[in-house]
Amino acid sequence: MNALADKYGDKLAILGFPCNQFGHQTNEDNSEFLNTLKHVRPGNGFEAAPTVTLFEKTDVNGADAAPLFKWLKASHMIPCDEAGDTKGNGVDDNDALVLPRGKFGGSTVVLWTPKFLVDGDGKCVKRYSRYYKTEKIAADIDALL
């Protein structure tokens, strides 16, 4: 994401929403999250670019999902990536790793980092799967600018 932030500067707003509904990546609380990014994941002194806005931990799935994510997912229910099994795991990428979580409000756990592209008018344009390389989103951003 930092590469996109550097490339587009103030022409692009990147919003990050830490969430613990994707394979327990964000177990820490809000006060520890930035230190975890800097020293653990991805580590090596990583810091979010100044043009990236990070929010507090947010539910993005299930009954308690933030309204923003309910709207984004309703706008594009599946990722736009081409169909296929790019990882050789025997299932289409878009169907991979979707598991029920009965003890978590009836939600599902989706083990990908959801990425959405919203245009300048607030319309959700695309949704990308976890396998879609973040830097490839630049082509779609260029088409919008």
User: What residues does each domain of the chain span?
Assistant: 2-144
The residue-averaged pLDDT of 49-71 equals: 85
The residue-averaged pLDDT of 52-59 equals: 86
**Percent of the chain at pLDDT above 90?**
26
Residue 24 is predicted with a pLDDT of 58
Instruction: Write down the mean pLDDT value for the chain.
Output: 79
The number of beta carbons lying within 10 Å of the beta carbon of residue 145 is 10
Tokens of 82: 């081409």
The residue-averaged pLDDT of 113-142 equals: 90
CATH code matching the domain that covers 2-144, chosen among 1.10.4160.10, 2.40.50.40, 3.40.30.10, 3.90.1170.50? 3.40.30.10
Q: Which has more confidence, 122 or 19?
A: 122
**Percent of the chain at pLDDT above 70?**
77
Tokens of 4: 């996109």
Owner of token pair 């409000």? 105
Angstrom distance (rounded) from CA 106 to CA 102: 5
The number of beta carbons lying within 10 Å of the beta carbon of residue 84 is 10
